[in-house]
Structure 1
C-alpha cells in the first residue's frame, strides 16, 4: 500500500479554533498527507471566527463551548449527517486526536467496520483537574481515557518521555513517537530585535526571562509566578517577558507585578519576540512534547523547565538548559539564577539548544506518521 492509497478520517476536538501546538501539528500533517496524494477529511467543532484557515476539508461536529473557556468546544458525538458523510467518504483509517465524546463514537463506528484506528496523544488531559482544585478526579479521568485508547490499534505521541508515561498507564501496547518540527524561517537566533526590546522597556543589558503560551492555569502560571517572586527575594535583577494571551491573563498580571505582557504574537512577530528574550522558563507538566520549548531552543535561548514529559526529551540538562523536579519554585529559581549573572554560560547553553533544534524537520517527522498509517491499514487487510 502507498500513502496515496490512504483515505483518512481525522477527528479533532479543536482543529483550527485556537492556535496551539497540537492544532498546528495536525494541520501540518494534513497538508503533508494531501501533498503525498492521500485523501483526508477532518471532523471537528467549528466556530464563526477560527484562529486560522484549516488544511483539508472540514466537517463540523455538534459541540458546546466550555463554560468560561469559550475558545474550546467539547464535541458531543456523531450526528446522523456525520455518519452519512463518513459512509460516503469511506475511510480506510480513522485518526482521533482528542479523547472526547465524538472520538468515542467514531471509534465505535470504525470498530464495527474493521477500520483501523490510530490515536495521537497531544496533552496530558488527566492532569488538568489539579489546576482547578479537582485533583480527586484525576484517576477517574485517566481510567476513562484508558478505556478509549485500549480500543485503538496504536497510539502516537511526541516524545519518548510521554511514551513511557503512556506505557506506565497501560494505555496501549503499540505506542510510537510522532515528534514535532520547528519552522526555521520563523524561529532562529538572528530574529533577535533590540529595538523591539527597548520599545517594551527592556534595556540592552537586561536579562529577560520569557514565558510563551496560552495564559491558562494548566500551563503552570502559579509556579512561574512563585519562581519569579523567589528570584526577586534573592535580589537577582531581571525582566519578565510574557508572550501570549488567554483567560488567566488578569490573574497572571496580578500575581506577576512588573511583568511585561507582549500579548498574542504569531508568525514572524512571534519569532522576533521569542528571540528577543534571554532565558526561556517552562514550568508546565501538561505538554506531551513542548513545541514552545523547541521554538525557544531554535531562537538560541537556554531553557529551564520542569522535568516532565516533553521537556525531558528536548532539553539536555547542563548542556542546553536545566531540568528541575516539577512544582518546586525554589529549585527552579536556583536553576535560573546562574543565567542571570553569567553571560557566557547563558550564550553557550543557548547555542547548544539551537544546534539541537536543527534535528527537527517537519517532512521527516510527518513521513513517520504516514508510515504508521500504512502499517495499520495493511495489518487490517491481512
Structure 2
C-alpha cells in the first residue's frame, strides 16, 4: 500500500552545505524523503553563504551564534511564538529534531503545544566531548538535560546498538536504532589517482596512511604518531606517509608533532572521494563517536580501516576480514592491528576487497525507508505522547 505523503519538519543546528556528519546524514534523509513524495521543511540557523530572501515555505532560517571551538557551526535560536505562528498556518505532521540546543528546545515546546508528533535523534555525544576537555560537572549536567529533552519525544533514534546500550545505562528511554549508509558510487576505489599520490611523495607501491575528520582533542589524534612510528619501525623497507584530511583547532599542534605528514585541509564531494581512494590504510582512533560516517566512506573507497570496537566500526568491521579492531582504549591493540595489516601484501589486498564488498550493501535507500516508518509510527501514536515539557527560560527568548 502506498505511503501517504507527510509534511515533515527537520530541525537542526547544522545542514548542508556545511561539512560534518550530522549535516551529511540530514542531507541524505531529506533528499530521500522528498524522492518518496514527502514535503520536507527545514528549520536551521543562517549560514555564511545564505543570501537574502532564501527562506520560504520549506525553509525557516533562525538567528545563529558561533559555537565555541567549532568555526563555521552555530547555535540556532528562534522564539517558540514564531514557530507557533508558522505551524498554525502550515501544520507539519511530524518533527525530527536532530540537535538539542535552544533551536531544538523551542521547536519541541512549540510542537507539543500544538500536538504535533516529535521524534528526535542523538547525533553528537556532547557529554562525552565535555569529559574529554576535563569538564566533568558540565558532562553530568548535559546528560541530565539531554535525558529530560529526549524523554519528551516519541522515540530517540541512535546510529548503533552500542550507542543505544550506552544511553539506556544512563537512563534514556524509548530508543531506536537508525543505521547510516554510504554512497558507494561516490566513494569508490576507481577514483584512485596516482597524480595525487605523487603530490604526497608516494609511488604506486608505497603506503598512504589516511585519517579523515575534524582535527580536535575529542578525536584522540595523539594515537596517530605512535601508530605511524610503529609502522615505520616494523616495516623500514616500505615508504609510508600519513595523510590528514580535514581541519580543526588541533591542526597547528599536529603539524608540529608530525612534520612529515601531509595536511590536505577540508575536501568535498568528488575531491574527498579521490583522496580516500588514493589511500591504503585508514586510522580512526576516535573514542567519542555516536557513529563515525568516515568508517563507511573509507570502506567503500577500498581502504583497510583500523578502529576501536564501537559505533560504526563495531557494526561494520569484521576483525581480520574487513578491517582491524581493538578494544576501546587499548592503544597497543590498535597499533598491533595496524601493523598486522602490513605483514603481507595479500593480507592488505584481501581486507581492502572485503571492506569494499561490505560497503556495497550499505546504501541509503533502505535507511530512508526505515526512517519514514518511524515518522509514520510517531504520527499514528501522537495521542499517547508524554505530558508537556516544563518551561525552560532559554526557549522563550525572542528570535
Residue ranges of structure 1 left out of the alignment (5+ in a row): none
Q: 1:139 to 1:67 in 2, by over 3 A?
A: closer
Q: Separation in 2 of the partners of 1:372 and 1:288?
A: 19
The alpha-carbon deviation at position 379 of structure 1 amounts to 1.6
SS, match of residue 341 in structure 1: coil
Q: 1:248 to 1:264 in 2, by over 3 A?
A: same
The alpha-carbon deviation at position 344 of structure 1 amounts to 0.8
RMSD, matched Cα: 2.4
Match of 1:166 in 2: 167
SS, match of residue 342 in structure 2: helix
Q: Separation in 2 of the partners of 1:135 and 1:328?
A: 22
Match of 1:329 in 2: 331
The alpha-carbon deviation at position 211 of structure 1 amounts to 0.1
Q: Separation in 1 of the partners of 2:233 and 2:141?
A: 39
Match of 1:195 in 2: 195
Contact residue 128 and residue 288 of structure 2 kept, 8 A: yes
Match of 2:254 in 1: 252
Q: 1:80 to 1:381 in 2, by over 3 A?
A: closer
Match of 1:182 in 2: 182
Higher RCO, 1 or 2 (CA under 8 Å, sep at least 6)?
Answer: 2
Match of 1:70 in 2: 71
Contact residue 305 and residue 323 of structure 1 kept, 8 A: yes
Q: Separation in 2 of the partners of 1:261 and 1:74?
A: 28
1:270 aligns to 2:263 (yes or no): no
Deviation digits for residues 262-307 of structure 1, max 9, x if unmatched?
Answer: 2222222211111111111111122222211001111111111012
Match of 2:312 in 1: 310
Q: Separation in 2 of the partners of 1:224 and 1:171?
A: 34
The alpha-carbon deviation at position 43 of structure 1 amounts to 0.8
TM-score (norm 2): 0.88
SS, match of residue 296 in structure 1: helix
1:20-59 → structure 2 map (5 Å cutoff): 20-49=20-49, 57-59=58-60
Contact residue 31 and residue 56 of structure 1 kept, 8 A: no
Q: Separation in 1 of the partners of 2:10 and 2:3?
A: 15
Deviation digits for residues 76-134 of structure 1, max 9, x if unmatched?
Answer: 35353333223222112111001212212221222223222111121222111133232
TM-score (norm 1): 0.92
1:109 aligns to 2:110 (yes or no): yes
Q: Separation in 2 of the partners of 1:300 and 1:215?
A: 23
Q: Separation in 2 of the partners of 1:89 and 1:255?
A: 54
Q: 1:140 to 1:297 in 2, by over 3 A?
A: same
Which 10-residue stretch deviates more, 30-39 or 351-360?
30-39
Match of 1:97 in 2: 98
